Every structure is written in structure tokens, then in C-alpha cells.
Amino acid sequence: MAPKEAIEKINALGIEIGVASTGSGDDYISLTDIARYKSDEPKMVVQNWMRNRNTIEFLGVWESLHNPDFKGIEFDAFREEAGLNSFTLTPTKWISRTNAIGIRTKRGRYASGTFAHKDIAFEFASWISPEFKLYVIKDYQRLKNDENSRISGEWNEKRLFSKINYRIHTDAVKENLLKPSMSRQVEGYTYANEADVLNVALFGMTAKQWRESHEGAAGNIRDEASLHQLLVLANLESMNAELIKRGIDRRQRAAYLREMAISQLSTLEGSPVIAKIEADDGIAGELPEDGAES
């Protein structure tokens, strides 16, 4: 029997957003409600987002990592058509054709519209507005803390930001770069090297270089990251996962990710929204070790 689902509410900049939760941590957040921040016609906003090639590729990566019954052939057909003026895609069509589980449609008295797994919902919120995404995540954090005090040590803002796409990245490394003949030591080097691709793109140095220049520091390079850096890191993890899947070599990926990091950091630098969130309580937290597999 499927676990009973509760519909909770979060609030971001006055927009009430539904969260479907079973208590497992795999919550589904209403894309329809998030879209109301941008338009009074949220259905069209969701469909416009789904027409985007980058969106299709992100959804395909997520499903490939989480859904063994995902229909890759149907996904490839959508990816080929994405970006064309004639291409249209609805959540219902995506679900029925690919057997997707990351997006759901609901019709009911207490919840209706399009819902998506929190990983996908945060990506959608970022497309709507990077700053709005911060408010969505912050109130989602409040909801998780309110549900169970046990989670309060894990679901602080920094830890949440560091985890958004961390598993997507490490799974992409595991599925595409590791080989059965590799020793555990070589596997560890592979994860660490890919973590350093992101570290260099974002911070301009590897984890080892940071440790050498910060002797005696208790944490690692990502422990000292600012909130806007962690937001960019989540985006870099998602993009690098897709580039790895495409077979792009590390040097090309590193150059592209560096340009992406510079552009996004410039956009978010000095954001009053981020400054406000960083000033609030509960932002510090333990981050994943560089290159460590979750």
C-alpha cells in the first residue's frame, strides 16, 4: 500500500505553494503554484519551461538516475524535437510517453495541478527566478524543521543547497566514468577529480590547494563557501552531470563550467535576497567532503 500523502503549504514572497509529502523526504512541490509568481496562467508557464531543450535534458538525467522504467527512446524523440517552434509538451504527455515519475499531475479537492520532485521543482523555480528559488528553498527548510526536530540538524540552508544536485553529479560519475576493473582507490580519485573540476570552476583552486593555503582549518573548501556560491555549485553539478553523460572530455567541461560560474556569480553577487538569508539564523552546517560519494 502506498504511504499516505499529506499536503502542506509553504510561502515564498506571498505565493502559497503546495508540498505533497509522505515523510520519506521525496517530497513533491507544486510547479503550478511556483509558476503563479510569473503569470496568472501558470499552466502556460510550465509548458513553456518544458519546451526548453535544457529542461528536457535535465528531466531525462533525473529520470535516468531515479527511474528504472524510464523510456529512453521516447525521451530521445522529445530531445530531438525540443527547441523547434512547432514543439509543444505538456506534463501529461511527458508522463504518459516516457513513464516519468519525477513529475505528477493531481486533481483533487485539496491539491490540483502539476507537482514535481523537489529536485525538479527547485530547478523550475531557478528558471522562474534565481532569487525566488531562494525563498522557495528557505520556506521549504522551515517546513521540514517544523515537521520533525530530528531533521533540524540536517536541513539547514547551506546543507540543503550543497545537496540539491550532489547525488545527480556523483551518480553521473558512477554510471559514466567508473569501470568495473577500477580499484576502490582509483574510483575515489575519479570522484575527487570531478569534484575538483567544480572547485576550480567555482573557487579557482582544487581542494588540495585550498587545504595547503588554509593550514589548520577545520572544514574544507565548500564549508567556507557563501550562499550564492553554493547556489552556483548546485547548478554546476547539474550541468557537469549532463556533460559527462554526453561524453565531453574533462578539459572542455572545465572551460565551459568556469565561464558558467563566472556568469552566475556575477548575476548573484550583492543580491539583497541572499544577504538577507545569510543574515538569518540556521545557515551553518556540515557539508559533503570534497569528492566523497554520498
State the residue for C-alpha cell 565561464.
Answer: 259
Cell, residue 287: 557539508
From CA 164, how far away is CA 230, in angstroms rounded? 10
Burial readout 152-189 (b: 16 or more C-beta within 10 A, e: otherwise) = eeebbbbbbbbbbbbbbbbbbbeeeeeeeeeeeeebee
Most confident residue range from 78-82, 84-88, 151-155:
78-82
Q: Who's near 48: CB < 8 A, 6+ residues apart?
A: none
pLDDT at 284: 40
Which pLDDT score, from 0 to 100, does residue 286 have? 41
- Has residue 151 got a pLDDT over 70? no
DSSP string, 229-262: HHHHHHHHHHHHHHHHHHT--HHHHHHHHHHHHH
pLDDT for position 222? 81
Phi, psi of 248 (to 5 degrees): -70, 135
**Maximum average pLDDT range among 6-15, 153-162, 265-274:** 6-15
Instruction: Assign 290 a pLDDT band (cuts: 50, 70, 90).
Output: very low
pLDDT in tens, 92-144: 999 999 999 999 998 876 678 999 999 999 999 999 998 999 999 999 988 88
For 11, other C-beta atoms within 10 Å of its C-beta total 14
CB-CB contact of 121 with 29 (8 Å): yes
Higher-scoring residue by pLDDT: 33, 219:
33
Tell me the backbone φ, ψ of residue 128, rounded to 5 degrees.
-65, -50
pLDDT on residue 110: 64
pLDDT at residue 51 tops 60? yes
Q: By percentage, how much of the chain surpasses pLDDT 70?
A: 81
List the grid coordinates of 256: 565551459
Q: Does residue 288 surpass a pLDDT of 50? A: no
Mean pLDDT of the chain: 84
Rounded distance between C-alpha atoms, residue 53 and residue 56, angstroms: 5
| β partners of residue 116 | 29, 103
Query: 113-122, 155-164, 171-180: which range is least confident on average?
Result: 155-164
Assess whether pLDDT exceeds 70 at residue 24.
no
Distance separating alpha carbons of residues 191 and 169, to the nearest angstrom: 10
Q: State pTM to two decimals.
A: 0.55
Distance CA 40, CA 37 (A): 8
| Residue 3: per-residue pLDDT | 54
Question: How far apart are alpha carbons 247 and 253 in whole angstroms?
Answer: 10
Q: Give the sign of the dihedral formed by CA 140, CA 146, CA 151, CA 157.
A: positive
Comparing 44-58, 160-174, 276-290, which segment has the lowest mean pLDDT?
A: 276-290
Q: Identify the H or E element spanning 9.
A: strand 6-12
For residues 13-23, average pLDDT: 88
Alpha carbon distance 102, 67 (integer Å): 8
Ramachandran sector of residue 113 (left: φ over 0; alpha: ψ -120 to 50; beta: rest): left
